[in-house]
């Protein structure tokens, strides 16, 4: 069996003058959780929609298991959209049964599957409650269940934990992991939550302005941007930030220096041992440190490093 | 049988959305009630017409007997006493009043017409009688000098653009002519001493109502129109429901599944047609309660239901066409209203539009409005509910309605599938 389940070749999509996706090439492996990371409006949803056949690309092709996406059997893919896509006047069970019937899941098998989903996503108690009376978290979980009722091989989750409380998020994350580990599904996850991408994904594609910037495992990505830790510091006179950045940047021991939200982020291996040296340099420049902390390098640093700090809409 | 699942889903959504359902069912009912109260009594033949009489007649003295007479009072009495043929209902509700008050009443439509009797009315009537009396003894050269040359003019006044005036003045003219004729004949007979020859014996006039329409009111013609209006309003509801499915993304969910356009649209037809049928029943009940003269029995109801369902499918198809283009739910609602309300006027749900014949089909004139299936639906509903006609009387209309509905449905399915059920570009 071919290990690659989805392959996008030279995918382009433009809406008028706006190039939403530019020359996207990627391969997604069977049974992995593949994270799509990017700021708002980076082209994540557009890319996903093309990859599952909901949107025609302007040019390029998508192959699912070697077949063109438009030719594949319906039901290969299950999509959990970013918005809540539910029928307000149907109950949880009715919604799931409807989708199962639409995918032609045999009746007896469908009933078992629906019960299992309701149970797995903690919705059994609300099985016969109409959707309009569910809480936000329950609606999110039902939104996910609807994408899974026909047991698709590929599950696409578009920002699944948007607006969820930490408890619900935990339930969701565990469920996503079980999809991969227990059911062997391929999961495509789009998110702008670094934590989510980091914890769940086997590999991450970082996309911005419609272009694929990086594609690797979370640990490799973190390594690539700079191994080690991050020193975050605030100085009493921020107008000297640039002076410090250029001075510290010249130090051999330092991997990179960046200004983020008025504070200086210095990345260095074994940062704690480099701290005295950096402090010496600051003293030399006659600046006073107001706040200082040392933390581990995160995916967010990689992300900000690649996509910048400009606000996106 | 995925369309059955869709039908069940649509049905559940319909009945659980109580507010929406009440709106769909109550709105046309409200119209029916308003029209029932407004036009319930209008057009019925045994209805007295309101007439104001302004009598200026000063009276006169009969030439031979010297008897004091007032033909104005006489005429008023006759107008008050006149009754419909074979009925004890009066032709007129007479109000004796002044000219200025009569004008006021006409403007307020408190009366349908006013009759103004001039001051020399009696004198002119005597002049007429005198001239007749002189006829037999004259040598054939009746000159105006021989009789008192007095003419008078009876004025019938009213709003000429008002239907009530048209009817009243027609009847009034008839009564006046008859009064004058009778007077002339009687005088002539008195003079010649024989019954003479009456023109009436040779030529008689009789106004006859179309069989069964004798007791019809305007509302009887309007009630089926209200049903068609209600059926047409389904367009808006269907367009919004389908657009909601698009807007909320549930259609995308369904699109990814094995559901076909047929499943979605045919499945949707079932509950919506049911609503159309329910509309017909509810509106018929309301109409009957407020005075609709329902002809025929249960069989006409069954025919009406059948016709209503065809009309419903037409509206659903139109709803699909709108949903194929509307960007969001509120736009679909607005577009639906903007299209369905003028359409209900075009098909004649409220009043008949001027004839615009564009062709002749099987010897029947085909009007431009006949291109709309609801025109035939309305004709069929009227034929069966108002006139009590059976299948044979509505077959032609049902045939056209069905044919046009199929055309509209195909257009709806094609457009909706093309715009909404394929992958986007």
**3-state secondary structure labels for all residues of B48-85:** CEEEEEEECCCCEECCCCCCEECHHHHHHHHHHHCECC
To the nearest whole Å, the CA of B418 is away from the closest chain A CA by: 14
To the nearest whole Å, the CA of A103 is away from the closest chain B CA by: 5
Q: Which residue has the tokens 């209805």?
A: B47
Q: What is the pLDDT of residues A9-46, one digit of tens each?
A: 999 999 988 888 999 999 999 999 999 888 888 888 88
Model ipTM?
A: 0.73
Q: Give yes or no for A59 touching B (CB within 8 A).
A: no
To the nearest whole Å, the CA of A89 is away from the closest chain B CA by: 5
Q: What is the pLDDT of residues A202-239, one digit of tens each?
A: 999 988 888 888 899 988 887 766 566 788 888 888 88
Mean pLDDT within A241-251 = 85
Cβ neighbours of B12 in A, within 8 Å: 89-90, 94
Q: Please report the pLDDT score of residue B402 as a whole number.
A: 95
Chain mean position to CA B291: 14
Q: How far apart are CA A246 and CA A234, in angstroms?
A: 16
Structure tokens at A24: 């996207």
Q: Give yes or no for A90 touching B (CB within 8 A).
A: yes
Contacting A with CB below 8 Å, chain B residues are 2, 5, 9, 12-13, 16-17, 248-250, 252-259, 263, 423-425
DSSP string, A9-60: EEEEEEETTEEEEEEEEEEEETT-EEEEE--TTSSHHHHHHHHTTSB--SEE
Structure tokens at A47: 């890319």
Cβ neighbours of A103 in B, within 8 Å: 257-258
* Residues pairing with B146 in the sheet: none
A66 and A220 in contact (C-beta within 8 Å)?
no
Output the pTM of the full model.
0.70
Task: Please list, residue by residue across B236-250, b when 16 or more beta carbons sit within 10 angstroms of its beta carbon and e when fewer do.
Answer: bbbbbbbbbbbbbbb
In this structure, chain B runs to a length of: 425
Q: Which residue has the tokens 């996509």?
A: A307
Q: Give the three-state DSSP class for A171.
A: helix
Q: Which residue has the tokens 């009436």?
A: B200
User: Are A103 and B257 a contacting pair at CB < 8 A?
Assistant: yes
To the nearest whole Å, the CA of A91 is away from the closest chain B CA by: 10
Measured between its terminal Cα atoms, the distance across chain A in Å is 42
Residue A104 zone, left/alpha/beta (φ > 0; ψ -120 to 50; rest): left
User: Are B423 and A94 a contacting pair at CB < 8 A?
Assistant: no
Q: Which residue has the tokens 């419609």?
A: A210
Structure tokens at A160: 């699944």
User: Are B248 and A104 a contacting pair at CB < 8 A?
Assistant: no
Q: Please report the pLDDT score of residue B139 as a whole number.
A: 44
A99 and B257 in contact (C-beta within 8 Å)?
yes
What lies within 8 Å, CB to CB, of A55 at 6+ separation is A13, A46, A49, B423, B424, B425
Q: Give yes or no for A99 touching B (CB within 8 A).
A: yes
Q: How far apart are CA B417 and CA B291, in angstroms?
A: 45
Q: How far apart are CA A210 and CA A206, in angstroms?
A: 10
User: Are B17 and A89 a contacting pair at CB < 8 A?
Assistant: yes
Q: How far apart are CA A307 and CA A46, in angstroms?
A: 18
* Sign of the four-CA dihedral A265, A271, A276, A280: negative
The one-character DSSP state at B90 is B
Cβ neighbours of A86 in B, within 8 Å: 248, 250
Question: Which residues 113-142 of chain A have a CB within 8 Å of chain B?
Answer: 130
Q: Which residue has the tokens 């056949």?
A: A53
Chain A nearest-CA residue for B1: A101
Rg over alpha carbons for chain A, rounded to the nearest Å, is 23
Chain B nearest-CA residue for A59: B425
Q: Which residue positions in chain B have pLDDT lower than 50?
A: 138-147, 196-205, 209
User: Are B423 and A87 a contacting pair at CB < 8 A?
Assistant: no
The one-character DSSP state at A250 is T
Q: Give yes or no for A146 touching B (CB within 8 A).
A: yes
Residue B356, class by beta-carbon neighbours within 10 Å (0-12 exposed, 13-18 middle, 19+ buried)?
Answer: exposed
Mean pLDDT within A48-61 = 89
Cβ neighbours of B423 in A, within 8 Å: 53-56, 70
Q: Give the three-state DSSP class for B357.
A: strand
User: Are A85 and B12 a contacting pair at CB < 8 A?
Assistant: no
Q: Give the three-state DSSP class for B45.
A: coil
Chain A nearest-CA residue for B258: A103
DSSP string, B361-412: ETTEEEEGGGGSHHHHHHHHHIIIIIS---HHHHHHHHHHHHHHHHHHHHHH
Q: Please report the pLDDT score of residue B375 as a whole number.
A: 92
Cβ neighbours of A78 in B, within 8 Å: 256
Mean pLDDT within A2-6 = 85
Q: What is the pLDDT of residues B217-254, one digit of tens each?
A: 777 888 888 889 989 999 998 999 999 998 888 988 88
Cβ neighbours of A83 in B, within 8 Å: 248-249
Q: What is the pLDDT of residues A282-313, one digit of tens each?
A: 888 888 888 888 887 777 777 777 777 666 65
Q: Please report the pLDDT score of residue A186 as a whole number.
A: 93
Residue B63: count of CB within 10 angstroms of its CB? 14
B72: nearest Cα among B92, B57, B62:
B57
Structure tokens at A291: 């706040």
Cβ neighbours of B424 in A, within 8 Å: 49, 54-56
Report the residue of A88, A89, A156 to disrupt the B interface, i.e. the one with the largest count of B CBs within 10 Å. A89
Chain B nearest-CA residue for A75: B257
To the nearest whole Å, the CA of B300 is away from the closest chain A CA by: 36
In this structure, chain A runs to a length of: 313
A241 and A282 in contact (C-beta within 8 Å)?
no
Q: Please report the pLDDT score of residue B143 as a whole number.
A: 41
B324 and B419 in contact (C-beta within 8 Å)?
yes
User: Are B250 and A86 a contacting pair at CB < 8 A?
Assistant: yes
To the nearest whole Å, the CA of B90 is away from the closest chain A CA by: 59
Q: Give yes or no for A151 touching B (CB within 8 A).
A: no
Report the residue of B257, B262, B271 to disrupt the A interface, i.e. the one with the largest count of A CBs within 10 Å. B257
Residue B411, class by beta-carbon neighbours within 10 Å (0-12 exposed, 13-18 middle, 19+ buried)?
Answer: middle
Report the residue of B241, B245, B423, B425 to disrupt the A interface, i.e. the one with the largest count of A CBs within 10 Å. B423
Q: Which residue has the tokens 């047609």?
A: B273
């Amino acid at each position: 069996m071919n290990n690659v389940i989805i392959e996008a070749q030279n995918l382009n999509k433009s809406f008028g003058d706006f190039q939403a996706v530019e020359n996207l090439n990627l391969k997604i492996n069977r049974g992995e959780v593949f994270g799509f990371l990017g700021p708002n409006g980076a082209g994540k949803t557009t890319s996903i929609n093309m990859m599952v056949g909901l949107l025609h690309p302007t040019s390029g092709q998508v192959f699912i298991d070697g077949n063109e996406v438009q030719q594949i059997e319906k039901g290969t893919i299950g999509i959990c959209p970013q918005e809540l896509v539910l029928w307000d006047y149907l109950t949880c069970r009715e919604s799931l049964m409807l989708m199962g019937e639409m995918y032609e899941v045999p009746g007896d098998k469908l009933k078992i599957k629906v019960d299992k989903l309701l149970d797995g996503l903690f919705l059994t108690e609300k099985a016969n409650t109409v959707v309009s009376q569910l809480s936000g978290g329950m609606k999110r979980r039902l939104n996910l269940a609807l994408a899974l009722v026909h047991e698709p091989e590929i599950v696409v989750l578009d920002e699944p934990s948007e607006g969820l409380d930490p408890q619900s998020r935990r339930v969701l994350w565990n469920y996503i992991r079980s999809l991969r580990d227990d059911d062997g599904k391929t999961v495509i996850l789009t998110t702008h939550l670094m934590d989510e991408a980091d914890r769940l994904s086997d590999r991450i594609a970082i996309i911005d302005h419609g272009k694929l910037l990086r594609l690797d495992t979370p640990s490799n990505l973190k390594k690539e941007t700079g191994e080690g830790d991050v020193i975050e510091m605030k100085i009493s006179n921020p107008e000297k930030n640039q002076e410090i950045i250029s001075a510290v940047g010249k130090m051999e021991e330092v991997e990179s220096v960046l200004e983020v939200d008025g504070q200086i982020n210095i990345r260095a291996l074994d940062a704690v041992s480099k701290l005295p040296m950096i402090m010496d340099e600051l003293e030399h420049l006659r600046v006073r440190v107001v706040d200082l902390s040392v933390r581990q390098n995160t995916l967010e640093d990689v992300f900000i490093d690649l996509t910048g700090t400009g606000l996106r809409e | 049988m995925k369309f059955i699942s869709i039908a069940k889903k649509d049905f559940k959504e319909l009945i659980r959305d109580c507010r929406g359902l009440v709106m769909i069912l109550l709105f046309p009912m409200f119209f029916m009630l308003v029209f029932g109260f407004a036009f319930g009594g209008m057009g019925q033949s045994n209805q007295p017409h309101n007439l104001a009489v302004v009598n200026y007649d000063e009276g006169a003295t009969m030439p031979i007997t010297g008897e004091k007479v007032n033909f104005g009072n006489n005429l008023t009495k006759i107008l008050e006493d006149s009754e419909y043929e074979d009925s004890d209902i009066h032709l007129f509700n007479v109000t004796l009043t002044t000219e200025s008050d009569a004008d006021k009443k006409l403007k307020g439509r408190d009366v349908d017409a006013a009759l103004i009797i001039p001051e020399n009315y009696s004198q002119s009537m005597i002049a007429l009688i005198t001239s007749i009396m002189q006829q037999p003894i004259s040598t054939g050269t009746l000159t105006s000098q021989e009789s008192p040359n007095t003419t008078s003019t009876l004025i019938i006044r009213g709003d000429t653009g008002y239907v009530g005036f048209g009817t009243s003045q027609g009847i009034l003219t008839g009564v006046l002519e008859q009064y004058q004729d009778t007077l002339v004949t009687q005088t002539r007979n008195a003079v010649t001493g024989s019954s003479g020859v009456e023109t009436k014996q040779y030529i008689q006039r009789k106004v006859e109502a179309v069989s069964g329409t004798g007791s019809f009111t305007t509302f009887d013609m309007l009630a089926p129109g209200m049903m068609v209006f209600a059926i047409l309003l389904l367009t808006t509801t269907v367009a919004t429901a389908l657009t909601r499915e698009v807007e909320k993304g549930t259609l995308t969910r369904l699109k990814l599944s094995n559901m076909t356009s047929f499943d979605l649209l045919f499945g949707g037809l079932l509950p919506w047609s049911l609503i159309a049928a329910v509309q017909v029943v509810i509106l018929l009940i309301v109409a009957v309660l407020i005075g609709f003269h329902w002809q025929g029995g249960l069989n006409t109801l069954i025919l009406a239901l059948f016709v209503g369902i065809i009309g419903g499918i037409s509206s659903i198809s139109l709803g699909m066409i709108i949903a194929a283009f509307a960007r969001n739910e509120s736009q679909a609602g607005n577009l639906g209203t903007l299209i369905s309300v003028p359409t209900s006027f075009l098909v004649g749900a409220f009043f008949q539009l001027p004839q615009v014949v564009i062709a002749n089909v099987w010897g029947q004139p085909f009007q431009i409005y006949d291109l709309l299936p609801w025109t035939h639906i309305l004709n069929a509903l009227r034929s069966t509910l108002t006139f009590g006609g059976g299948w044979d009387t509505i077959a032609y209309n049902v045939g056209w309605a069905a044919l046009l509905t199929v055309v509209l449905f195909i257009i709806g399915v094609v457009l909706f599938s093309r715009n909404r059920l394929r992958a986007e570009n």
